[in-house]
Amino acid sequence: MRASSIYVNLPIKNIEKTREFWQKLGFSFDENYSNEKALCLILREGLIYAMLLIHDFFSTFTNRKIADDFTTEAIIAIQVENRDKVDEIVNLALKFGATKFKEKVDLGWMYYDSFIDIDGHQWEIMCLNNDK
């Protein structure tokens, strides 16, 4: 079995603010799957997407309570090409409303930093040492 792509579904509070936040970090959206209820954040064209769904719409896909801003539902880690890009994305995220949840980590073979986005989701931006 091999998946052809991945779509991570995450609840959000406000379409416009969320769109603006991710665009300021340099990301774009697939407008074919974006509307007033959802944004399709492109993490890697053709492979990895995050479906950012307003709470009411997200609730139609589950019978469980949506995690609040103080609960960790998942930590989403994305790999980028190098340390400079890790620092750039995290610094931009913090500049545009994200918050820090732990200090950056340098394990030699892997380097990463983290933030909580404006909707309360934890993200790790990382690179491997072969990506120097």
pLDDT at res. 130: 62
Domain that holds residue 92: 74-132
pLDDT at res. 36: 97
CATH number at residue 99: 3.10.180.10
Is 64 part of a structural domain of the chain? no
Is 66 part of a structural domain of the chain? no
Q: What is the pTM of this model?
A: 0.89
Return d(Cα 97, Cα 19) in angstroms, integer.
13
**Sign of torsion over alpha carbons 78, 45, 47, 52:** positive
Residues of the chain with pLDDT under 70: 130-132
Q: Which of 2, 46, 25, 20 is nearest to 123 (CA)?
A: 25
Whether residues 3 and 38 fall in one domain: yes
DSSP structural state of residue 56? H
Whether residues 21 and 47 fall in one domain: yes
Whether residues 2 and 48 fall in one domain: yes
Task: Say how many domains are in the chain.
Answer: 2
**Cα 59 versus chain centre, distance:** 19
